[in-house]
Amino acid sequence: MTYFPEEVVEHIFDFLTSHRDRNTVSLVCKAWYRVERLSRRNVFIGNCYAVKPGTLVSRFPRIRSLKLKGKPHFADFNLVPPGWGANALPWVEAIARGCPNLEELHLKRMVISDECLELLARSFPNFRALVLVSCEGFSTDGLAAIATHCKWLRELDLHENEVDDRGEWISCFPDSCTSLVSLNFACLKGEVNALALERLVTRCTNLQSLRLSSAVSLETLSRVILRGPQLRDLGTGSYVHDPRSEPYLNLASAFMACKSLRSLSGFWEVTAQCLPAVYPICSNLTTLNLSYAASIQGTELIKMIRHSRKLQSLWVLDLIGDRGLCVVASTCKELQELRVFPSDPSGDGSAASVTEEGLLSVSMGCPKLHSILYFCRQMTNAALIDVAKNCPRFTRFRLCVLDPRKPDPLTSRPLDEGFGAIVRSCRELRRLSVSGLLTDKVFHYIGRYAQKLEMLSVAFAGESDRGMQELMEGCRRLRKLEIRDCPFGDAALLKDADKYETMRSLWMSSCDVTLQACQALAAKMPRLNVEVISDDGDFAGGAVCQVEKLYVYRTVAGPRDDAPAYVWTL
Amino acid sequence: MEAVSGGGARGRGSCPKLLDLIPNGGDWSERDGGQRDYGVAEEQKLELRLGLPGGEDWRAVREEEEPPSVLSLGFLPVRASSNLSSHDRAAPSSPVVGWPPIRSFRKNLASSSFSKPSYPSQNENPGKTDTQEGCRKSLVKINMDGMPIGRKIDLKAHSSYDELSSAVNELFRGLIAAQRNENPALRNQSHGGRRQAITGLLDGSGEHTLVYEDNEGDVLLVGDVPWDMFVAAAKRLRMLKSSELSSSLSVSSPMPTFNSPPDDDPLILLKL
């Protein structure tokens, strides 16, 4: 290979699409390292503090696309206090200086300000795609800057962000903007200029994906659909109207013309009598997300499902009930991914919910099912054992029994055996979340059988350090481990310190780890950042004080310089 | 004496367990099974030392003691009794931070959803939708006679009847204009197609009069009670044609209700 000119080597590397492969070839020899780094177009950084922005830019000066992840996963559930970090600005500044050809930026769980968005919009003349997932810190002013200055914008995807509403911004897309392929602003709350939206959809003839916010009325939706019958992915806004009215009738006929629609979501507020307009589309859908539709009741959900025989991915609220899941099982034979969210998370259990029966019926009826996120009121070992038998192909299995530490209601036993069956049967399992009453035994099973496990989430489980130790010993491919409210302490933390360098990160909160142990870990492993978070910013307790929250991650960037007062890097 | 195990789930030996003395001892063991373990050794010693009358002889105690006395000795950690109470309830007494593990916006979905704003039909039960709304915000439906599409108005966003009146005016002006524009017949009426302010809602002088339905189902004129009482009591609003109001006051004619379908055929109004 070294006899080939660099262009040839580069061309060969073009066929390597996975980050892992490209990382690997760059280690072969200096020549390959050089070719690889100069030809690299996409970079993925799973932890924005693992490397400095400047390092990225100097190694890969020609990147076109960057994907960054910031805060730890548990930040989604308010376990990370505000102001923690994960600021996008240093990255955008560095890339603006060093890689002006940037075309795409994907950020997840990061903080990005309006100024940063403005800088982004002005610094990259070829900028095409901005994807923000679970981010915060910006407002519609920043979006207005993007709309105004990014001439070739193809994709603007705002997925479940916290955005301040400072006014209308859709009208900021200039008349010359015709390149949009994907526009998702479903998470916004503010006013939308319906006319501007319609005009935008009309002139962007390549638009394939459009997800509207709840401020967009059904009437506007019907006009928009008329202009964009080529859409493949639609998120409705507020789905409320008089079913006898003209706009609704128009919508119904507009839907009939949408032959390409494969993915549907939205339904922020719903008039049940208007749902029939959607039925003709349902038969072609492969993706259906009804998890925001808190006002569609079980019977209506079931009607929609009955029309959706081709579904591959279904996200739904537990309003669907076990009965509805039974219908899913008998109708959706192509189903690969199912997510059932709780409709009343803080409730007293009297609201609708699903149980082990729903999961069981889906496992029996859907042979292609391999990814599940399931919030339920209760679960039994027997059901889990059967599910494991029916679906040995799970790659992602996340089960959340709403009541922490709830045992199997039939036997009053912990759920160790059920999860044990899952990991034993599902050899390809990469992601697992466990819940319910669990002892150390479940970790013994996981450590022993879940050899491909990469990410594990544990809450209110285990009895002693042994649990975590068996986990760490056994799961060789573990990359992310997040634990809360478990009795794992210093011995478990320090058992295999070297392992943390093979992982992206470890999160432990409300466990039994002391400051002393964390300091010992930090001293032993200089290439880890051991960050201790104190909720009240107070580290006065001394070496034996319990650590409230611990976040450990490997890094080549050293301790970070933007940590707030309540974060102490040891 | 060897330490007493705190729970059957751990299987640490078959000696009689303290928890067996308590009714539903099996449940207790499960409850403790998931708890933090580091204090258990301490607890066990306490259980023995401060022990039951008669020292370490279990069997004698079992016959004589009543299980509740174990609790009353108070040394079983407070945690245990709180376990009992939390187990009885379906959910923990105080919400656990970050549990269940869903993003914040999902927690607010159920309360911010406007339930089912459904339209008047034979199958409709208006009471069903209104209860949900009443608990959360003061968003009430408001319909205008002659207009097939209603609006919603947040009563709590206003502080007086006058404000309400102008807000209602704002809500419906656009719809009225749209309606007039659609229907050439209406365009030529005396209002001449321009946006006419809706006035006189409260004193009977205008074309429409505002009435409301209270939580007992009665239809009342808006304006009689103090504003706050009105906000608390009003479940729906309606703008009756003042002519209909006067005719309904005669004994023989039917009471204006909130469930009757609009007089005009909406399809004609919207000019198909």
Tens-place pLDDT, residues B10-56:
444 445 555 455 454 444 444 444 344 444 444 444 444 444 454 44
User: What sign does the CA torsion over B175, B181, B185, B189 have?
Assistant: positive
Q: Does residue A23 lie in a domain region?
A: yes
Report pLDDT for B248. Answer: 62
Give the count of domains, chain A. Answer: 1
What is the separation of C-alpha A315 from the centre of its chain, rounded to a whole number of angstroms?
13
Please tell me if residue B86 touches chain A, with a CB cutoff of 8 Å.
Answer: no
pLDDT for B136 beyond 80: no
**Confidence class of residue A541 from pLDDT cuts 50, 70 and 90?**
low
Tens-place pLDDT, residues B206-242:
788 888 888 777 888 888 888 878 887 888 888 888 7
Residue pair A106/A134 in contact (Cβ under 8 Å)? The answer is no
Q: Which of A234, A238, A201 is nearest to A217 (CA)?
A: A238
Range of the domain at A17: 1-40
What is the separation of C-alpha A284 from the centre of its chain, rounded to a whole number of angstroms?
25
The residue of B82, B84, B116 whose CB has the most chain A CBs within 10 angstroms, and thus the best one to mutate to test that interface, is B116
Tell me which chain B residue has its CA closest to the CA of residue A398: B101
**DSSP character at residue B251:** T
Measure Cα distances from A59 to A62, A81, A95, A458 in Å: 9, 33, 12, 37
Q: Which of A350, A398, A396, A397 is nearest to A377 (CA)?
A: A350
Q: Which of A109, A149, A165, A114 is nearest to A132 (CA)?
A: A109
User: What sign does the CA torsion over B225, B227, B229, B231 have?
Assistant: positive
| Set of chain A residues whose Cβ sits within 8 Å of the Cβ of B98 | 74, 77-79, 484
- Which of A179-193, A389-403, B68-82 is predicted with the least confidence, judged by mean pLDDT? B68-82
pLDDT for A204 beyond 50: yes
Report pLDDT for B152. Answer: 84
Question: What is the model's pTM?
Answer: 0.71
pLDDT for B134 beyond 70: no
Please tell me if residue B251 touches chain A, with a CB cutoff of 8 Å.
Answer: no
Tell me which chain A residue has its CA closest to the CA of residue B123: A273
Q: Does residue A161 lie in a domain region?
A: no
Q: Does residue A13 lie in a domain region?
A: yes
Report pLDDT for A177. Answer: 93
Give the angle B8-B13-B17 at the CA atoms, nearest 5°: 55
Q: Which ranges of A409-533 does DSSP label H, i.e. alpha helix?
A: 416-425, 440-449, 465-474, 490-494, 515-524
Give the angle B1-B2-B7 at the CA atoms, nearest 5°: 130
pLDDT for B60 beyond 50: no
| Set of chain B residues whose Cβ sits within 8 Å of the Cβ of A213 | none
Please tell me if residue A405 touches chain B, with a CB cutoff of 8 Å.
Answer: yes
**Interface touch B113/A269, C-beta < 8 Å:** yes
% pLDDT > 70, chain A? 97
Instruction: Give the minimum alpha-carbon distance from A374 to chain B in angstroms, rounded to a whole number.
Output: 11
Please tell me if residue A269 touches chain B, with a CB cutoff of 8 Å.
Answer: yes
Chain A segment 137-196 residues within 8 A of B by beta carbon are 160, 187
Cα atoms found within 13 Å of the Cα of residue A434, Cβ hemisphere only: 38
**Interface touch B114/A187, C-beta < 8 Å:** no
Run of H or E including A226:
helix A218-227
- Which of A255-269, A275-289, A523-537, B164-178 is predicted with the least confidence, judged by mean pLDDT? B164-178
Domain of A36: which CATH number? 1.20.1280.50
Residue A71 structure tokens: 């805060």
Rounded to whole angstroms, the Cα distance separating A174 from A203 reads 11
Residue pair A214/A187 in contact (Cβ under 8 Å)? The answer is no
ipTM: 0.86
Q: Does residue A29 lie in a domain region?
A: yes
Chain B segment 11-30 residues within 8 A of A by beta carbon are 26-27, 30
Domains in chain B: boundaries: 139-180+199-249
What is the separation of C-alpha A447 from the centre of its chain, rounded to a whole number of angstroms?
25
3-state secondary structure of A403: coil
Torsion of Cα atoms, A143 then A144 then A148 then A152, to 10°: 20
As beta bridge partners, residue A337 has A313, A371
Tens-place pLDDT, residues A477-506:
999 999 999 999 999 999 999 999 999 999
Report pLDDT for B70. Answer: 39
| Set of chain A residues whose Cβ sits within 8 Å of the Cβ of B265 | none
Report pLDDT for B201. Answer: 78
Q: Which of A488, A416, A410, A409 is nearest to A446 (CA)?
A: A416
Count contacts between A and B (CB, < 8 Å).
141
As beta bridge partners, residue A233 has A209, A263
Rounded to whole angstroms, the Cα distance separating A124 from A114 reads 16
Q: What's the mean pLDDT in A394-414? A: 94
Please tell me if residue B235 touches chain A, with a CB cutoff of 8 Å.
Answer: no
Of residues B34, B104, B267, nearest to A438 (C-beta): B34
| Set of chain A residues whose Cβ sits within 8 Å of the Cβ of B34 | 404-405, 414, 437-439, 460-463
**Interface touch B106/A269, C-beta < 8 Å:** no
Rounded to whole angstroms, the Cα distance separating A515 from B87 reads 33
Q: What is the DSSP annotation of B48-107?
A: HHS--TTTT-HHHHHHHS-HHHHHHT--S-HHHHHHHHHHHSSS-SSPPTT-S---HHHH
Run of H or E including B174:
helix B161-182
Q: What's the mean pLDDT in A518-535? A: 92
Tens-place pLDDT, residues A260-293:
999 999 998 888 889 999 999 999 999 999 999 9
Residue B223 structure tokens: 């304006």
Give the angle A50-A54-A58 at the CA atoms, nearest 5°: 110
Tell me which chain B residue has its CA closest to the CA of residue A242: B119
Rounded to whole angstroms, the Cα distance separating A113 from A107 reads 13
Residue pair A115/A93 in contact (Cβ under 8 Å)? The answer is no
Q: What is the CATH architecture assignment of B139-180+199-249?
A: Roll (3.10)
What average pLDDT does chain B have?
Answer: 59
| Set of chain A residues whose Cβ sits within 8 Å of the Cβ of B91 | 346-349, 402-403
Give the angle B37-B38-B42 at the CA atoms, nearest 5°: 105
Instruction: Give the minimum alpha-carbon distance from B89 to chain A in angstroms, rounded to a whole number.
Output: 8
3-state secondary structure of B35: coil
pLDDT for B92 beyond 60: no
Cis peptide before A409 (omega within 30 of 0): no
Please tell me if residue B148 touches chain A, with a CB cutoff of 8 Å.
Answer: yes
Give the amino acid at A52: K
Rounded to whole angstroms, the Cα distance separating A508 from A485 reads 8
Strand A480-484 and strand A505-509: the pairing is parallel
What average pLDDT does chain A have?
Answer: 92
Residue B253 structure tokens: 């004619």
Residue pair A64/A39 in contact (Cβ under 8 Å)? The answer is no
Please tell me if residue B174 touches chain A, with a CB cutoff of 8 Å.
Answer: no
A493-515: string of b/e by CB count within 10 Å (b at 16+)?
Answer: bbbebebbeebbbbbbbbbbbbb
